[in-house]
A and B are shown apart, each in its own frame.
Chain A
Amino acid sequence: MKNNIIPAIRLTLFCALFFSGFYTMSIWGIAQLAPNQGDGFVTNNNGQRYHTNVAQAFTKDQYFWPRPSAVDYNAAGSGGSNKGPSNPDYLALVQSRIDTFLLKNPGIAKKDIPAEMVTASGSGLDPHLSLAAASIQVKRIAKARNVSEIQVNQLIAQHLEKPLLGLLGTEKLNVLQLNLALDKLK
């Protein structure tokens, strides 16, 4: 033990220099070559900067709403609900989300509401919707914006992200990009 102490301390300090210092700075250097220089994916629109990967809170009728968030879209304190599938309070919350959704989206059949639209995402910042979750909002958005449903559906078709290589994973739509495109309609 005794003759191990000094080498252990010296080796640890050098490892700190090497891995926390040199390795981190190399990755930081590589990041300078990446899009947005390691700032994450940022979209610029009319002089405003938005993080494409981070869900924003959308509550107005004329925008696509993202999935519910257990942390109210707090991107500095992300998290899920951590509610278990049998928790009665949780199930009551889901039921109330369904009721609210039906109220705000007249003319929608309950059986068509996809579960992802009334369940909270893992991070509370899920930037995406499934095709079903976007399509079910078309009627409301078209009415609120006074545009035809066909136009909104076209936007969805344009922004639909296919699975990776067309083969792997899920199909999805980025809510922010859809909403930016909505604002450009007409």
Chain B
Amino acid sequence: MNTEILGIVAMYGIVLLLAIPLGRYIGKIFNYEPTWADKLFNPIDRFFFKMGGIDDKVEMNWKQHLGALLTINLVWFLLSMFVLLNMDWLPLNPDANPAMTSDLAFNTSVSFITNTNLQHYSGETGLSYLGQLTLMLWQFISAACGMAICAVVFMAMKEKTSTTLGNFYSFFVRSATRVLLPLCIVVATILVFNGTPMTFGGKDHITTLEGKTQDVSRGPVAAFVAIKQLGTNGGGFYGPNSANPMENPNYLTNIVESVSIVLLPIALVFALGYVLKRKKLAYTIFGVMTLGFLLLLLPTVIGETGGNPAIDNMGISQNMGSMEGKEVRFGAVSSANWATYTTCTSNGSVNAMHDSFTPLGGATTLLGMMVNCFYGGIGVGFLNFYIFIILGVFISGLMVGRTPEFLGKKIEAKEMKIAMIIALLHPFLILAGTALASHLYAGNPEAYAGWLANPGYHGFSEMLYEFTSSSANNGSGFEGLGDNTPFWNIATGIVMLMARYLPIIGPVAIAGLLAAKKHVPESSGTLKTDTSTFGFMVFAVIFIVAALSFFPALTLGPIAEYFSLYQ
């Protein structure tokens, strides 16, 4: 058990060692400062713009940025629908897998372009290799899209008064080629050398030692896994994601994949410090996020290592902790650690089945997604946090009786209205969705019997988790839920769409509005936002808005299950 704890400490250490220099590098890329890699990437980027017919020097205002983002996302959606509905006759289908139904194709397309990667299909049987490679494309470019829009907000937070905020396509391409691509090549290389498959051959047919036949699914797995970890995507090549020993063969790959989950979300916070030349602000934000992260990590580890009390009662030994749905090569501690990483960052990949977690682990993974900004998704995690900063500034301003300002810009009614709508959207989507599903189920349990794999409180948690994961653009699941039905495909599809684009539009609008305002120089009466006092203020706002609004729902699910198990 001690080596297991040491394992997760080492992982977080590696994250910090890499995230700080990487943050500087990303900051330089957003600032168009020269880096060592320019010789290689300048020609590549120019080729991208040439092929796209794009003038990357044209400055855009915030509305033009959003226009460019939404248009290109629409193109992705349409192309994705085409491929998923026609996989059966398109090339690269050695296992002769069928095309998707239209509601499943809608859900899957939305899920991948919104960086969610909720999967209502199983990769081995539900997708051709062309389908996998198409989804992998969205994994790259939806992550790059998140980084690009984060860059736009960074630009808007600079002191000068301005209406133009760089070029969207330029940020987008630079993020994809200069950050995601090299990292993915490194991670994929480590994976293939540790036994992750990377082949275009179909299933392998094996005769086992006892003489039975066994088909083993393969494919271009390593390339796919690298970007799904690094881009906070999370959609696995195989059904059980990184619990599958092909996708995540040993403890070393588990370290690499775990680090990849949180690396870019944390690096982007340090990039903010570099871009704005406000290191202290970046460390304050990082501190608040890390405090929240640790408060979620600790109970998860305690819950999972403690084992299942109902199994304790059977009189067997649970030295490894709760092992249902977990793998021996990772153990309970690094499974709990992964679960916390993946739900805090909206990644959604798993190396253990969350549905079989103890109630404590189930509650913390849910809470991580409900807050959705303790690191958060790539780019968009910071946008969520930005909303809470605006709320924190406003409430602090009211408390001290001054007009609220953030980084020298006055926050007025218009910005506050947008911030409030976005802050309340997430609880609304989750709670309304879960209420609707529960209502349908309660009204006719026989008709919807296929939905829930578990009875009682845990069954409710399965529905709550599905909507939370959709709204957090996370993509992990309590996978016992029978979710490939028109209701779940369409309902979660709509939730994912709203939860992706509105929380991008809102913060960009606020940042754009603030950027155009006159800069007010700091005075002795200015509320300082880079202090621990303000950090605690923001933490309190997050706790009240995000955590407490979900408390009643959590009580009906994991908390009730906890008290029924630990009597």
Give chain A's interface residues, CB within 8 Å of chain B: 1, 4-16, 18-20, 23-24, 26-28, 30-31, 34-41, 48-60, 63, 67, 73-88, 90-91, 94-95, 98, 110-116, 118-130, 132-133, 163-164, 166-172, 176, 179-180, 183
**Interface pair B356/A84, CB less than 8 Å apart:** yes
User: Given known contacts A27-B223, A63-B209, A168-B251, is B134 in contact with A80 (CB within 8 Å)?
Assistant: no
**Interface pair A132/B134, CB less than 8 Å apart:** no
Choose one: B198, B330, B353; the contact of A80 (CB below 8 Å). Answer: B353
User: Given known contacts A86-B457, A115-B320, is B195 in contact with A52 (CB within 8 Å)?
Assistant: yes
Q: What is the total number of residues of chain B having a CB less than 8 Å from a CB of chain A?
A: 120
**Interface pair A8/B453, CB less than 8 Å apart:** no
Q: Is B432 an interface residue (CB 8 A)?
A: no
**Interface pair B208/A79, CB less than 8 Å apart:** no
1/0 contact string of B322-340 vs chain A (CB within 8 Å): 1111111111001100000
Residues on A with beta carbons closer than 8 Å to the beta carbon of B212: 56-57
Q: Can you spell out 27 A-B residue pairs with CB atoms less than 8 angstroms apart?
A: A11-B52, A12-B79, A15-B48, A20-B137, A27-B192, A27-B226, A56-B212, A73-B214, A75-B214, A76-B217, A82-B325, A82-B453, A82-B454, A85-B359, A87-B453, A111-B316, A114-B319, A114-B320, A115-B322, A123-B238, A123-B327, A125-B245, A129-B328, A163-B7, A164-B251, A168-B3, A168-B6
Q: Is B365 an interface residue (CB 8 A)?
A: no
Q: Is B239 an interface residue (CB 8 A)?
A: yes
**Interface pair A115/B317, CB less than 8 Å apart:** yes
| Closest 10 A/B residue pairs (Cβ) | A122-B243, A82-B480, A84-B458, A11-B52, A38-B198, A31-B198, A169-B251, A80-B353, A41-B195, A4-B71
Residues on B with beta carbons closer than 8 Å to the beta carbon of A87: 453-455, 458
Residues on B with beta carbons closer than 8 Å to the beta carbon of A79: 122, 239-240, 479
User: Given known contacts A11-B54, A114-B319, is B215 in contact with A75 (CB within 8 Å)?
Assistant: yes
**Interface pair B71/A86, CB less than 8 Å apart:** no
Choose one: A15, A95, A121, A164; the contact of B176 (CB below 8 Å). Answer: A15
Q: Is B38 an interface residue (CB 8 A)?
A: no
1/0 contact string of B522-566 vs chain A (CB within 8 Å): 000000000000000000000000000000000000000100110
Among residues of B, the one whose C-beta sits closest to the C-beta of A169 is B251
User: Given known contacts A115-B311, A121-B327, is B3 in contact with A83 (CB within 8 Å)?
Assistant: no
Interface 9-mer from B182-190, B376-384, B467-475: B182-190
Other than the known A16-B79, A86-B359, what 19 A-B pairs have Cβ atoms closer than 8 Å? A1-B67, A12-B141, A15-B137, A16-B134, A19-B136, A31-B198, A41-B249, A55-B245, A57-B210, A58-B210, A60-B210, A78-B244, A85-B357, A85-B359, A85-B458, A87-B455, A98-B314, A120-B325, A125-B244
